Structure 1
């Protein structure tokens, strides 16, 4: 997959084999240490059960209104980094998610204007640990707020380069085996609906992140596994699992 997008501190060039740093030299992608493309202080929203097939997989009906929870910034980690798996977490699995990045202040935005407030899109892998889950609807802190359990990136693609965020294919592989396949068309609540809903009761700020949920597919990972989450036209996010 080739992108002409921006990394956090530079521009991807040469068919994604190199990064030209802002005001600096060009370095090979393989030599770069990727940071999550998120602004300090951004609010991170995440959705539970926002795909019809994933809700059915877990034995639930699709929710009638968005099931939203918040994530802390320490949960984020960049492309190519490691995510720790606790020794007692035998049911930890990846979740590929489209992320909408808010571009300007939004308050009481109508659904018809919602996408005008999106600066761009990126990819998240929002790992879940089933042993720690106490509430499927709004997961407890130690499921979704553990350090480095939400890889994000590698970059943000401009919203103008995504014709329709509700027509994107998603996939996850573990060591090359496909474990998730889906489409953003299967979201219960679209990106536009989520922005309308959130902005109806709070002000969204530039840099805020909206993780929009994951399609069906559960594959438990082990230390040493390499996990790749890919969203059509956006990015391929690679991460590996390590023991703690």
Structure 2
């Protein structure tokens, strides 16, 4: 199933993409796409619904974040061998965990706003895991039982804040609009192998990232298991899993940073595409 949320910010309706490409309203079937809806029994309710009988929503409506009321927005850093190489960083021996503010979450086609005092804004196409069942001290062999599905995430970053302002990476990751997710939450039954998905990102039509989840250092099951050793994971929590090479900071001979007026397009095989206009902060 491809689940989404449609409507104005703060007033999104739960929806599903039907086989014919139409968007069908799940209002009345589930409260929203998040929380208990993502439990196995919640997804079963949607799967057992006659989608063709549901009202059709306009394809012209805004698509919101594909998961509502995200509790934790967790990120794995330097998780692609080829990306680690382009940054000059050693291959991590264990997953690097940092957090992205949930207030950074926006819809897949909403504007990305460069924050005040930014110097080095950058892009990162990432596969995001959506948790579907509470996970606590989960073994890797059982980790996939706790996954509801996947979505596209642009882990927008400000590298000056991230690496040159002291402390942890979080301050370069959490600005408003730095977490577009969607367009869809694709349930795991529709993703045969999350470790074999093509992914790409373009800025103003130029392709900078053209990679695959094949080059992940720590795969989806390992990531879920590992994170669950340090914090419980709840339905609707999101874990982004790192990015392939081609980020702005890695461009040679000179890095390329996002500028107001840029347009980012990105996507992952089977999970849909995003388009974001980059704008300057305005009070």
- Structure 1 SS opposite 2:148: strand
In the alignment, which residue of structure 1 is the partner of 2:17?
A: 12
Question: For the Cα contact (< 8 Å) 1:183–1:215, is it kept in 2?
Answer: yes
Question: For the Cα contact (< 8 Å) 2:70–2:238, is it kept in 1?
Answer: no
* CA 1:139–1:177: 2 relative to 1, 3 Å: farther
CA distance in 1, matches of 2:79, 2:137: 22
TM-score by length of 1: 0.90
Asked whether 1:21 is paired with 2:1, we answer no
Residue deviations 1:75-133, cap 9 Å, x none?
11102100111364342121000001111011221111211211000010011112222
Higher percent of residues as helix: 2
Task: Using the TM superposition, give the Cα deviation of residue 204 of structure 1 relative to its aligned residue in structure 2, in angstroms.
Answer: 1.2
What RMSD in Å do the two structures reach over aligned CA positions?
2.1
Task: Using the TM superposition, give the Cα deviation of residue 200 of structure 1 relative to its aligned residue in structure 2, in angstroms.
Answer: 2.1
In the alignment, which residue of structure 1 is the partner of 2:194?
A: 165
- Pick one of 83, 106, 115 that aligns with 2:112: 83
Question: For the Cα contact (< 8 Å) 2:99–2:170, is it kept in 1?
Answer: no
Task: Using the TM superposition, give the Cα deviation of residue 177 of structure 1 relative to its aligned residue in structure 2, in angstroms.
Answer: 1.3
In structure 2, runs of 5+ residues without a counterpart are: 6-13, 28-53, 249-256
Asked whether 1:232 is paired with 2:269, we answer yes
* Pairs aligned (count): 239
Question: For the Cα contact (< 8 Å) 1:174–1:228, is it kept in 2?
Answer: yes
CA distance in 2, matches of 1:76, 1:130: 19
Higher relative contact order (CA 8 A, sep 6+): 1
* CA 1:168–1:175: 2 relative to 1, 3 Å: same
Q: Which has the larger radius of gyration?
A: 2
Higher percent of residues as strand: 1
- Structure 2 SS opposite 1:112: helix
CA distance in 2, matches of 1:123, 1:71: 15
Question: For the Cα contact (< 8 Å) 2:162–2:170, is it kept in 1?
Answer: no
Question: For the Cα contact (< 8 Å) 1:90–1:221, is it kept in 2?
Answer: no
* CA 1:7–1:57: 2 relative to 1, 3 Å: same
In structure 1, runs of 5+ residues without a counterpart are: none
- Pick one of 68, 74, 85 that aligns with 1:56: 85
Task: Using the TM superposition, give the Cα deviation of residue 22 of structure 1 relative to its aligned residue in structure 2, in angstroms.
Answer: 2.1
CA distance in 2, matches of 1:218, 1:120: 25
Runs of 4+ aligned structure 1 residues displaced above 4 Å come to none
CA distance in 2, matches of 1:223, 1:73: 23
In the alignment, which residue of structure 1 is the partner of 2:242?
A: 213
CA distance in 1, matches of 2:170, 2:258: 20
